[in-house]
Chain A
């Protein structure tokens, strides 16, 4: 990863973090809405991420987990990937069969499951 990429990720992260921390998504209308939910009325696998990140930034972990548990899985995966991405390499596990099919099954299952049992 180039220095510019790392710098812009950090700057955007700080700005995004400040906006998310300051304005609660539940009562603020300017956050982008989920197209899938607007069109179908069903939750998408990413729905609840904005509220979860807001709760997380305020230290409310249990609440964040209730809004979107998949976000935690994603953050763990992102955390594991950071060292090799900084070296400019592709993380190895992203190219394994179990991770590819596992991601497909977990995300599809979570998508269907959360709409069946809500």
Chain B
């Protein structure tokens, strides 16, 4: 087993760590806690841990940008799911947070896709007049 303090490999029946002397607890299936990551040189920065929910993105910024820049009601749906991610993370419901995160991503992506296609279609429909507008703008500036 590995020491939870310094991650030194110890014998399975050892009671204290051979390296740092900390007490070792045996891993029973019911009370298993993953060993903490080894101490890092840059102590101020904590890398995201997949088990703690820290790594679950809420896509809040993405959905706000889709709502404002692509003008899509789907963006609001994305924001609501992003807010649900935050609520569920606060409650420790990581499974629910992950589901809400996937939905926030889905609606944000659909909103972005529709918004992009819409802008391109409008742009092409007005293609000739836009080229004329660019020419006039360059002459008049």
Interface residues of A (CB under 8 A from B): 22-23, 28-30, 32-39, 44-47, 49, 70, 74, 81, 87, 89-90, 94-97, 99-101, 103-104, 107-108, 111
In the bound complex, residues from chain A placing their C-beta under 8 Å from that of B108 are none
Q: Count chain B residues whose beta carbon lies closer than 8 angstroms to a beta carbon of A.
A: 38
User: Is the pair B70, A104 in contact by a Cβ cutoff of 8 Å?
Assistant: no
Instruction: Indicate if B3 sits at the interface (CB-CB under 8 A).
Output: no
Given contacts A46-B71, A94-B58, A107-B79, contact A35 B119 (CB under 8 A): yes
Instruction: Indicate if B43 sits at the interface (CB-CB under 8 A).
Output: no
Q: Chain A contact residues: over half helix, strand or loop, or mixed?
A: helix
Given contacts A23-B137, A95-B86, A103-B60, contact A108 B129 (CB under 8 A): no
Residues 82-117 (chain B) with a chain A CB within 8 angstroms:
82-87, 89-90, 114-115
Q: Nearest chain A CB to B13's CB is how many angstroms away? A: 41
Residues 36-87 (chain B) with a chain A CB within 8 angstroms:
45, 57-58, 60-61, 64, 67-73, 76, 79-80, 82-87
- Minimum CB distance partner of A32 in chain B: B119
User: Is the pair A97, B86 in contact by a Cβ cutoff of 8 Å?
Assistant: yes
Across the A-B interface, give the 6 residue pairs with the lowest CB-CB distance, nearest first: A100-B83, A35-B118, A44-B71, A46-B68, A29-B133, A36-B71
Complex partner residue of A35 from B64, B115, B130, B133, CB under 8 angstroms: B115
In the bound complex, residues from chain A placing their C-beta under 8 Å from that of B114 are 35
Measured CA separation A72–B134 after assembly (Å): 29
In the bound complex, residues from chain A placing their C-beta under 8 Å from that of B118 are 35, 38-39
What string of 1s and 0s marks CB contacts (under 8 Å) between B122-141 and chain A? 11001001101110010001
Complex partner residue of B61 from A38, A44, A94, CB under 8 angstroms: A94
Given contacts A35-B122, A95-B89, A97-B90, contact A28 B137 (CB under 8 A): yes
Complex partner residue of A94 from B60, B122, B126, B137, CB under 8 angstroms: B60
Known: A30-B130, A104-B83. 4 other contacts (CB 8 A): A33-B126, A70-B68, A104-B79, A107-B67
